Amino acid sequence: MDSKALHKISYGLYVITSKKGDRFNGQIANTVFQISNEPPTIAVSINKQNLTHGFIKESRVFAVSVLAQEAPLSLIGRFGFKSGREVDKFNGLKYELSQNGLPYPAEHVLAYLEAKVIQEVDAGTHTIFIGELTDAKVLIEGTPMTYAYYHQVKRGSIPKTAPTFIQKQAEVTVKMDKYVCSVCGYVYDPEVGDPENGVPPGTPFEKLPGDWTCPVCGVGKEEFEKES
């Protein structure tokens, strides 16, 4: 079976949030889709190991934030590569609340949709939560972030708990050495640099500023290893 065929399926990139009592949590997801129009329903696929899964199971509500194409890697890293069991993902983040009190980032979000769970589907490692919309709002106009754009243009990495995660095979390095973040899997490519954080294309890893950090998860250069 050629698993690369799965790469031809299109995906977006979203922040899924929920609550448990007075606590908030959220995560990145790429599997969100509309199911019906009357009533309007949507579905999200959430890994059972994630804290957000437990929050949705208990509160029976969730919100979907549609990320703009220009959303920074740091925002995606906050919700995709940090655990809500260890950090408060909303600490220091500008956010607003939906009609039923669910948080959504106040910046780099085109729209949000809030839903109440009406059905669950067991999908092995994940649960598909089907929800009826209770609130929705377009915040700004723009182009939605897609998984392809995030991966190919912004060169972002994928959490191992994502439904689309596939273990990469080693590639042969023929030019300047690439370095891989041991925490989140982000690959620093010298030919691309990190323009979002002031590092121009053509900058070798060894020439990065001492205070440069992974644009996705925020760890230092010491957490990077040369790609084999």
Q: Is residue 111 located within the same domain as residue 207? A: no
Q: Is 194 exposed, middle or buried (0-12, 13-18, 19+ CB in 10 A)?
A: buried
> For the segment 16-62, what is each residue's pLDDT rounded down to a tens digit?
999 999 999 999 999 999 999 999 999 999 999 999 999 999 999 99
Asked whether residue 1 is domain-assigned, the answer is no
* Number of domains the chain is built from: 2
How confident is residue 155, by pLDDT bands cut at 50, 70 and 90? low
* Cα-to-chain-centroid distance, residue 49: 16
- 114-133 pLDDT, tens digit per residue, is 999 999 999 999 999 999 99
Within this chain, do residues 37 and 111 fall inside the same structural domain, yes or no?
yes
Write the CA distances from 179 to 77, 90, 142, 175, 188, integer angstroms. 18, 30, 33, 12, 5
CA-CA distance, 111 to 189, in Å (whole number)? 32
Mean pLDDT of 82-108: 95
Query: 217 and 119, same structural domain?
Result: no
Which run of H or of E encompasses 110? strand 109-123
Question: Which pLDDT band holds residue 172 (cuts at 50, 70, 90)?
Answer: very low
Q: Quick check: is 36 in a domain?
A: yes
113 vs 183, higher pLDDT: 113
Is the same domain home to 106 and 28? yes
Give the single-character DSSP code of 145. Answer: P
- Give the bridge partners for 104, in sequence order: 96
pLDDT classification of 134: cutoffs 50, 70, 90: very high
- Provide the domain limits for residue 187: 179-226
Cα 96 to Cα 2, 59, 63, 138: the distances in Å are: 43, 19, 12, 13
Query: Among residues 19, 6, 25, 31, which one has the least CA distance to residue 128?
Result: 31
